[in-house]
Amino acid sequence: DAKTTQPPSMDCAEGRAANLPCNHSTISGNEYVYWYRQIHSQGPQYIIHGLKNNETNEMASLIITEDRKSSTLILPHATLRDTAVYYCIVRVRSETSGSRLTFGEGTQLTVNP
Amino acid sequence: NAGVMQNPRHLVRRRGQEARLRCSPMKGHSHVYWYRQLPEEGLKFMVYLQKENIIDESGMPKERFSAEFPKEGPSILRIQQVVRGDSAAYFCASSPAKNTEAFFGQGTRLTVV
């Protein structure tokens, strides 16, 4: 799976949009971009994933650049409960790895009142 | 629709004892993944199982650790002769198919005294 690079920490004001960047310059054509978050040592929570098109769901939006070398997770209206470590994970879907995930260090997002 | 259930949530064992961690996947999910998170460290993949089969155990320590996912009942992660270094949070995830998003349980926090 391709390596990802994320800033170690970010701050965001409550009610504002949180934009979390991720670099994955060695991504292959068949690798997907996944985002998970972990709130204070709870189990990781799936947020969103995509291949090359931008994606949106009830939690967030995922913007993937045209060359697919980077992406941005957008939380449109951050709340205090969005304070968490956010993981950007790039993985290929294969027979043996299944839905296996390789977690990096992630970005600690702190939403401030 | 219950999520991934792990029990116990907290487990204390003395050095040399056995620890058994249980994971009941979401309904309809036949793929299970175990991860370990050591204190102040990231999540590390341990093993991937499908009903009655171990698909990928590349992250499992070579000794004392084993996992199973029987035809009936929960998946079990078993740690024999626990040592202090086994103290960690153990997370289970499940997915309905091989390459779909995985959903995590709340984890079992093992403390070896």
Within an 8 Å CB–CB cutoff, is residue B25 touching chain A? no
B-facing residues of A in 23-82 (CB < 8 A) are: 34, 38, 41-46, 49
Q: CA A29 to CA B96: how far, in whole Å?
A: 24
Give B-chain residues touching A43 at CB under 8 angstroms: 4, 91, 93, 104-107
Dihedral over Cα of B73, B79, B82, B85: its sign: negative
By mean pLDDT, which of A71-75, A78-82, A89-93, B86-90 is the weakest? Answer: A89-93
Instruction: Work out the average pLDDT over B52-78.
Output: 94
In this prediction, residue A7 carries a pLDDT of: 97
Residue B1 has pLDDT above 60, yes or no: no
Per-residue pLDDT tens for B3-51?
999 999 999 999 999 999 999 999 999 999 999 999 888 899 999 999 8
- In which band, very low, low, confident or very high, does the pLDDT at A91 lie, cut at 50, 70 and 90? confident
In this prediction, residue A63 carries a pLDDT of: 97
* HSE-up of residue B57 (Cα within 13 Å, Cβ side): 14
Residue of chain A whose Cα is closest to the Cα of B90: A43
In this prediction, residue B31 carries a pLDDT of: 93
Residue B106 has pLDDT above 90, yes or no: yes
Residue A97 has pLDDT above 90, yes or no: no
- Whether residue B33 and residue A95 make contact (CB cut-off 8 A), yes or no, is no
Q: CA A76 to CA A59: how far, in whole Å?
A: 9
